[in-house]
Structure formats: C-alpha cells, structure tokens
C-alpha cells in the first residue's frame, strides 16, 4: 500500500511523553522521586487503512507508546489528536465512548482474557457495553459471525479460555477487539508468544481483516521480518525516542540511523552463504537506564560514529536529503552519507 502524503491523518501524535515517578526502596522518605522516561517526545501520524509498524529492543518504550495512544497510561506531556479531537482533553466518560473506535490486541493472549467468562461472553462484552439496545439473539448472531470470521468454530462459544491453544486465544482477543468495527487497532506484540507457524496465520488474518474492514493498525513487534510483512511504514524506537521513520521499502533497503542498521544486520537471512558473508554490526555497551539517559543523542553511548557534537543537543526526526518521506534523528547523517 502506498501512502499518500496529502491525506489527512486519523491520528496525530505531537511531542508525546510518558514519564513515571520512580523511588527506590532504600530511599529516604523525603527523597525526591526520579523520572523514568519511558516515552520521551515522540511525533507520528497514522493514516486511514495503513499499518504503522513499531520496532526496537526490549525497554525502548514500544508498549508504553501503544498504551499512551489509547490513554491506558497517564500522559505526561504532548497531544494525541484523533479525528481532530485531542484525546488528552477528554474526561473518563468521553474517553470511554471513544473506545468504540480505538481498540487493542494484547501480547499475552491467555492473560488478556477473563478465565471466568465463556468465549461468547468475552466477545460479546463490548456489545453489551456500547450497544445495549441489541437483543440477546442479535448479540449472539454477531458473536457467531465474528468467531467464524477469525477462524473459530461457532460450536465452541460456551467454552472457556483455558480450553484453547495460544493461537486460538489470540483469535478470541482479535474477535473481541473487532466486534465493534473500530477504525484503529493497536496490536501490542500480538504474535510474540506464539509459535512461528501460528504467527504467520495470525498476521495473515490481521491483513485480511484490515482489507475487509478498512482498519488502521499500529503493529508492535521485536521481529523485523514480521513487521516488514505486515507494515506500510515503520517507526524505530530507542530508549523512548523515535530514531527513524520511513515506508518499509526505504527503511529496509536504505536504513539511515546507525541503530536501525544494527537491528537490520542482525536479522537472519535464509541463504546460508549470504548469512555467513553479511556484515553484522554489533552494538557495544549496555542499554542506558531510562531514569538517567545520556545527554544529547540517547544512542551516542553505543554509536560507532558518535562525537562530541552528539552529546550537546538531542536530534529530532528530520527528512533526509533525497526528497522522500524518510526521516531519521541523527545530526551526522550528511557526514556519514
């Protein structure tokens, strides 16, 4: 899918920050809490019918960003504008009504389902909440239709989550998220807990449902191969910051940021000869703490190209010189080109 840059985005995120107050167990009672900067100034747009992939190593803020987009965690600073309305200005009741349009699929398929409820009740719960005027038969019919659509037999409607495999539980979660026909679905590592063969089935199902229902997706994952398969654009995060954003072809064929290059070099290649001959760019040092991130560029402590300039100011996403929509947050791009 090609992204038209003249489209009006469904969601616009500006300078989004999510900081958590952290106080150590052995700290004095009067000691001030430190701020853990889980997300620290992210800007992005999400367009109708597209899939925005979000990648990065563990602890980079992907899941916190996902929850912040739907206001499932408190937002410290910034704006999340959905169809022209700033979600950060809505009260609980107003935000609750918006949940009909904004849904989420969680990482652990079994933990996200209530073990005391049947599959039918789990999928039907959003209908009871937002469409109370529906009769019992209408609710049951819609649940059965959605179950069939995600590959679940209607005759299992009265079973409980523990009776299903991980892949089937994720299908239940997908059915629950889509029963209200939302416009945006945030998928927080929905296949990371599944076997490889089941991962492919779930990803293909999401692609089919997206085309059929006109969904927009935010797809978060560690596996860069999975992200490439499903995404139109890809956002790379490091230590709570966005370091690169581009359409998938540009990003995978011509990565600009040193961190993105290191991530892509670690992706296995099916051809043994190519795998042995490729240049793997290993990162040195440990991931810094989000409580005390490095000054300037947060990646500079592990970057092979860092210099004194990198510690002086924090680079923001900016368009690279080729005239495309490819953006990277590195002050040395022109020098390294």
pLDDT score for 1: 40
Question: Structure tokens of 35?
Answer: 């701020």
Which tokens sit at 260? 């993105």
Cβ proximity of 209 and 176 under 8 Å: no
Q: Which residues does 135 contact at the CB level (< 8 Å), separation at least 6?
A: none
Environment class of residue 1 by beta-carbon count within 10 Å: exposed (0-12), middle (13-18) or buried (19+)? middle
The model carries a pTM of: 0.90
**203 in Cβ contact with 230 (< 8 Å):** yes
What stretches in the chain show pLDDT beneath 50?
A: 1-4
- According to DSSP, the residues that pair with 20 across neighbouring strands are 36
HSE-up of residue 78 (Cα within 13 Å, Cβ side): 22
Domains of the chain by start residue, with CATH: 11-22+35-101+182-336 (3.40.50.300), 111-180 (no CATH)
- At 17-55, the pLDDT tens digits run 999 998 776 666 777 888 999 999 999 999 999 999 999
């Amino acid at each position: 899918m090609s992204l038209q840059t003249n489209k009006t985005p469904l969601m616009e995120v500006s300078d989004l920050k999510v900081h958590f107050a952290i106080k150590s167990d052995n700290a004095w009672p009067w000691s001030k809490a430190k701020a853990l900067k889980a997300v620290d100034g992210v800007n992005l747009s999400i367009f109708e019918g597209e899939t925005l992939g979000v990648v990065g190593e563990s602890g980079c803020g992907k899941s916190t960003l996902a929850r912040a987009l739907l206001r499932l965690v408190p937002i410290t600073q910034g704006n999340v504008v959905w169809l022209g309305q700033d979600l950060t200005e809505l009260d609980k009741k107003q935000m609750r009504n918006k949940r009909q349009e904004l849904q989420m699929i969680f990482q652990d398929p079994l933990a996200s389902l209530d073990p005391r409820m049947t599959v039918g009740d789990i999928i039907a719960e959003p209908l009871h909440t937002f469409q109370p005027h529906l009769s019992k038969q209408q609710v049951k019919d819609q649940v059965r239709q959605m179950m069939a659509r995600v590959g679940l037999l209607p005759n299992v409607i009265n079973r409980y989550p523990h009776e299903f495999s991980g892949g089937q539980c994720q299908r239940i979660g997908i059915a629950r998220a889509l029963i209200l026909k939302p416009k945006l679905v945030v998928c927080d590592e929905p296949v990371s807990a599944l076997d490889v063969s089941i991962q492919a089935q779930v990803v293909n199902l999401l692609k089919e449902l997206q085309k059929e229902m006109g969904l927009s997706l935010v797809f978060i994952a560690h596996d860069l191969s999975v992200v490439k398969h499903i995404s139109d654009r890809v956002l790379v995060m490091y230590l709570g910051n966005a370091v690169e954003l581009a359409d998938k072809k540009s990003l995978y064929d011509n990565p600009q940021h040193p961190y993105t290059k290191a991530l892509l070099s670690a992706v296995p290649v099916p051809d043994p000869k190519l795998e042995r001959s490729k240049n793997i760019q290993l990162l040195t040092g440990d991931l810094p703490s989000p409580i005390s991130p490095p000054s300037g560029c947060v990646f500079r402590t592990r970057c092979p190209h860092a210099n004194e300039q990198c510690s002086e100011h924090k680079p923001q996403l900016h368009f690279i010189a080729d005239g495309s929509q490819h953006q990277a947050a590195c002050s040395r791009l022109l020098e390294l080109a």
